[in-house]
Amino acid sequence: MIIKPEPSPKDLSYIIENSGLKQSDLLNMYKKMVTIRYFEESIRKVYHDGKNPFNMASGIIRGEMHLSIGQEATAVGTLYDIKDEDVVVSTHRPHNHAIAKGVDINRLAAEIFGKATGLCEGKGGHMHLFDKSKNFSCSGIVGASFPQALGAAFSFKYQGKDNVAVAFGGEGAANHGTFTETLNIASAWELPLIIVIEDNKYADSTPKSLVMSTTFHYQRGLAYNVPSYLVDGMDVIDVYSTAKKAIERARKGYGPTLIEALTYRYIGHFEGDSEEYRTKEEVEFWSSVDPIRRLENRLLRLNFADADVLAKLREEARKEVGNAIEFALKSPYPDPSEALRGVFA
Ligand SMILES: Cc1ncc(C[n+]2csc(CCOP(=O)(O)OP(=O)(O)O)c2C)c(N)n1
Ligand SMILES: [Mg+2]
């Protein structure tokens, strides 16, 4: 199926050489993935503070919370060669993509906390992040990311720029009409769009096998003449190698690419999910291919890092995340008189 076996030492060296990634890139990717993991683990902890018994409307962070723990490699691998001027449109599960795009984690945390120092001055919350300086946005409307990124791709082509737009979507979102409508126009107009489907097996509690006429979404991309690839989403190098080709192709004006990444979220669809739709064994299997641990093992096998170097990177990430959480906690809430400014009312 899906998760490729760990390569032999010779194969591993070949894969790295072929990817064009240097030692410093792989260490950088490791740090980014660890930062995403710590960030979300920290958010999760604060989210549950003051919610006992569980009540979404109480506590420091209010409302729904969708975390991407387990899906770090899809974000970091896809976005490693993406520039600030390129556009990324994400979903209701956006923190991994935001951090991989370079969004400031202090302002990201503050937005999630609903604080005035947040990316949207606390009015967007965790599902509606917007960062103009990084050209990053997301939406709680499932399936909305595809046409939004398509619009950005159209504008890049229209203006003769070599930038690209990336749309992330879940395997559930890809059953929306917006997915195939977007594939059609992106292909017909050769737009610089990359669609990344993060197949984490479930849309909320619905397994994909119950609601899909094909086994994979990449099959649908092929029907629209879009080069479409299936990648191991728990392997950052595999994701990167395909994304790199897609980005180069889009920048040179050859049009869109679809990447379907097989991945998994280790925790519930949302915080508070009873997770009755999946087994402990299934979660254990996917935990055995944790993308962070896999990269860590490869770095050690390649002699690109020893345990101390990795521990230092983890420590740095922990500190940065700790500072972001503290920044968010200490920041003020927006003044009530600001409630109607900057929003459609
Ligand atoms: C248009 C729309 N329909 C329904 C929902 C409710 N909803 C939120 S997340 C979700 C499931 C999305 O599944 P998938 O696209 O696979 O992403 P994942 O949650 O697995 O990351 C649904 C149905 C919504 N937010 N928007
Ligand atoms: Mg899903």
What is d(CA 285, CA 7) in angstroms, rounded to the nearest whole number?
A: 19
> Looking at the CA of 267, which ligand is closest?
1
Q: How many CA atoms lie within 13 A of 317 on its CB side?
A: 23
> Looking at the CA of 144, which ligand is closest?
1
Ligand 1 atom closest to the Cα of residue 203 is: 13
Q: Where are the domains of the chain?
A: 9-331
DSSP per residue over 143-207, as a string? Answer: T-HHHHHHHHHHHHHHTT----EEEEEETTGGGSHHHHHHHHHHHHTT--EEEEEEE-SEETTEE
**Residue 44's pLDDT is what?**
98
List residues near ligand 1 (CB under 6 A): 92-93, 140-143, 170-173, 200, 202-204, 269
Q: Whose CA is nearest to atom 12 of ligand 1?
A: 203
pLDDT classification of 344: cutoffs 50, 70, 90: confident
The first and second tokens of residue 67, run together, are: 């975390």
Task: Say yes or no to pLDDT of 1 above 80.
Answer: no
Ligand 1 atom closest to the Cα of residue 142 is: 26
Cα 156 to averaged position of ligand 1 atoms, centre (Å):
28
Q: Ligand 1 pocket test: pick from 97, 204, 209 the residue with the most ligand atoms within 8 Å of its Cβ.
A: 204
- For residue 232, what are the β-bridge partners? 262
pLDDT classification of 17: cutoffs 50, 70, 90: very high
Cα 289 to averaged position of ligand 2 atoms, centre (Å):
18
DSSP code for 268:
-
What is d(CA 233, CA 81) in angstroms, rounded to the nearest whole number?
A: 17
Tell me the residue type at 341: R
> Looking at the CA of 179, which ligand is closest?
1
pLDDT for 148-161, tens place per residue?
999 999 999 999 99
Fold of domain 9-331: Rossmann fold (3.40.50)
The first and second tokens of residue 246, run together, are: 């897609």
Cα 281 to averaged position of ligand 2 atoms, centre (Å):
19
pLDDT classification of 5: cutoffs 50, 70, 90: confident
